[in-house]
């Protein structure tokens, strides 16, 4: 069956709203056949210059956001015994580079989670894939003085 597209806005860093958005999608379409986790945020800076607040925001976007959305969709896929889950990650999830500690840490965590999920979902015929590309040209804003959020790539 073919469905009309529906635009659903989601801030992947707002963990509290992800389950509601997933519920809205499932109520509208009944199922999700393919879930592609592609949202990401990164920041460049020395470890000592990046605040813990920013570390947490990066972890929310790159780890907790995708796993929260995946866990919200997963029961539907398991009950239907079909589905595909894809994580668009980064080579930095395998190899960290200087000045990208928060980003690399979040991507390492995501790889670990989705590797475990892949093994667990095999019995339900749900495919879990992780794509780890090298450099991706991302949208970037130049930071305003004192505005760490503006230094984030989205």
User: What secondary structure does DSSP assign to 58-121, as a single string?
Assistant: HHIIIIIHHHHHHHHHHHHHHHHT-EEEEEE--GGGTS--TT-HHHHHHHHHHHHHHHHHHHHH
Does the active-site annotation cover 103? yes
Catalytic option among 3, 29, 63, 103: 103
pTM of the model: 0.84
Is residue 11 included in any domain, yes or no? Answer: no
Q: What is the CATH number of the domain that holds 99?
A: 3.40.50.720
Higher pLDDT, 92 or 137: 92
pLDDT in the model for residue 3: 75
pLDDT over 70 (residue 136): no
Report the number of distinct structural domains present in the chain.
Answer: 1
pLDDT over 60 (residue 81): yes
127 touches 83 (CB < 8 A): yes
Q: Which of 113, 110, 104 is nearest to 55 (CA)?
A: 104
% the chain with pLDDT above 70: 87
Is residue 125 included in any domain, yes or no? Answer: yes
Is residue 32 included in any domain, yes or no? Answer: yes
**Confidence label for 92 from pLDDT (cuts 50, 70 and 90):** confident
DSSP label at residue 129: E
Is residue 141 included in any domain, yes or no? Answer: no
Give the best-scoring range by mean pLDDT among 32-41, 78-87, 92-101. 78-87
Is residue 112 included in any domain, yes or no? Answer: yes
Q: Which domain holds residue 112?
A: 17-134
Is residue 1 included in any domain, yes or no? Answer: no
Q: What is the mean pLDDT of the segment spanning 76-101?
A: 91
Q: What is the mean pLDDT of the segment spanning 35-58?
A: 93
Is residue 91 included in any domain, yes or no? Answer: yes
Is residue 33 included in any domain, yes or no? Answer: yes
> Bridge-partner residues for 140, per DSSP?
153
**Pair of tokens at residue 119:** 């093994």
Q: What is the mean pLDDT of the segment spanning 134-138?
A: 65
Determine the Cα–Cα distance for residues 79 and 46; give it in Å rounded to an integer.
Answer: 45
Cα torsion at 99, 61, 125, 117 (round to 10°)? 60
């Amino acid at each position: 069956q073919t469905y009309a597209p529906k635009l659903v806005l989601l801030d992947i860093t707002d963990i509290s709203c992800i389950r509601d958005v997933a519920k809205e999608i499932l109520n509208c379409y009944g199922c999700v056949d393919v879930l592609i986790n592609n949202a990401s945020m990164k920041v460049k800076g020395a470890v000592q210059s990046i605040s813990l607040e920013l570390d947490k925001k990066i972890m929310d976007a790159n780890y907790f956001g995708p796993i929260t959305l995946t866990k919200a969709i997963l029961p539907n896929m398991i009950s239907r015994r079909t589905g595909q889950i894809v994580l668009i990650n980064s080579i930095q999830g395998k190899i960290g580079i200087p000045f990208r500690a928060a980003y690399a840490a979040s991507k390492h965590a995501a790889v670990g989670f989705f590797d475990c999920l892949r093994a667990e979902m095999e019995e339900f015929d749900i495919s879990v894939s992780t794509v780890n590309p090298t450099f991706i040209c991302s949208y970037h804003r130049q930071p305003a003085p004192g505005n760490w959020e503006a230094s984030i790539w989205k």
